[in-house]
Amino acid sequence: MIETVTIQTDKVLYLVSSYNKSPYIRSVLDSIVIDSDAFHASLVIIDDGSTDQSVDIIQTFVSQYEHKLPITFIARDNRGIFQTTNQLGDIARKLDPEATSFIRLIDSDDPIMPGSTALLIKASKDLQCHLVKGEAIAYGPDALKAEQMKAEPNTLAEAHIMSDSLLYCLTGFDFVPTQSLYHSSAFFAALPISDNFVSCQDYAIALQIALKGDFASLNYPVCYQMVRGHARLSDREALTFHQTAGLIRHYCKDQLPLSLKRRAEQKQLSRAKRYLQNHQKRKDMKYFFRGLKLSILKNIIKFLPISLWSYSFAFVLNIYEEQADIGYISNREKTPY
């Protein structure tokens, strides 16, 4: 069991990427102020070219709290979430040159739960893991009010080592950046992440950490996650699937045993088939032949002495690129946050 504790000796770096989330960014920053009281904390914020009121809101916040919390704020032209994450990491290295701190990587519309960082740090220390993930509470579309974020978590929570973190990343990754706590040594080792991608930066980091060691999971909410009222749009879904498949191919091609390569291929082929079923009319013959090809590939992979890795992933990526309007994969001006 993990008890809620007050920790005064640990150093925590809160890293926030901001992009056109003006209705929510203030509640996120306020939640950090509440949570940071227990630590030697620093806050780093990079606004990646927002065109709404985000910069003004952040500047007002900085003027109000810079006497209480060391804050670094940078507003710049849009370069994408991967370059933003790399720059956040560079600043964090300067603040923590010995890599002894803990890091929360926070989305600008996902406030953190007060007291959650203490729980995550305790789990990381007790279980000796460099990445701990907690749960999230859905909210939205309205921003959270201050009084909704003041309640402390319950006094007890449980954490455990995930049995196979790498397999989890390859087949069932399901958490957002704000749910995680990283030890800075592992976080820095995963950077820089490739800026050939534009989405799923947390997945790029977690995948590299999983290649070297296990995660821990905390069965308690550590943040609030924005959930829009409308159904997930097919182009956004395609982008997420496209990016995760591409990241697996990029980071794991030469580091996985054949058994895990096959599991990764099967998962990607199954997901692509479900995507086709959800977003294209079944009467379309092009769909029929693509679905048939996906099924054949999935079934023959486990019988072949060699993996079809390159072909399978290229086929899956092509499906997402053609099935939805995700041309901004190569257009950094349209950064999907």
Provide the number of structural domains found in the chain. 2
Q: 126 and 270 share a domain?
A: no
Q: Residue 328 has what pLDDT? A: 47
Same domain as 321, residue 242: yes
Where the chain has pLDDT below 50, the residues are 1-5, 230-231, 328, 330-334
Residue 136: domain span: 9-226
Cβ neighbours of 265 (radius 10 Å): 24
Task: Name the 3-class secondary structure at 41.
Answer: strand
Backbone angles phi, psi at 167, to 5 degrees: -60, -40
pLDDT at 281: 59
Co-location of 16 and 134 in the same domain: yes
Residue 1 lies in a domain: no
Q: Which pair of tokens denotes residue 317?
A: 């990526």
The pLDDT value given to residue 332:
44
Instruction: Give 19-65 pLDDT, tens digit per residue.
Output: 999 999 999 999 999 999 889 999 999 999 999 999 999 999 999 99
Say what the pLDDT of residue 234 is.
66
Give me the pLDDT at residue 219, please. 93
CATH of the domain at 96: 3.90.550.10
Q: Are residues 54 and 18 in the same domain?
A: yes
SS3 316: helix
For residue 336, say if its preceding peptide bond is cis, omega within 30 degrees of 0. Answer: no
The two tokens of residue 14 are: 């809160």
Q: In what order do the strands lie in the sheet with 40-48?
A: 71-76, 40-48, 11-18, 102-107, 180-183, 131-139, 216-226, 159-161
Shared domain check, 76 and 159: yes
Q: Is the pTM above the cut of 0.75?
A: yes
Structure confidence at residue 303 (pLDDT): 86
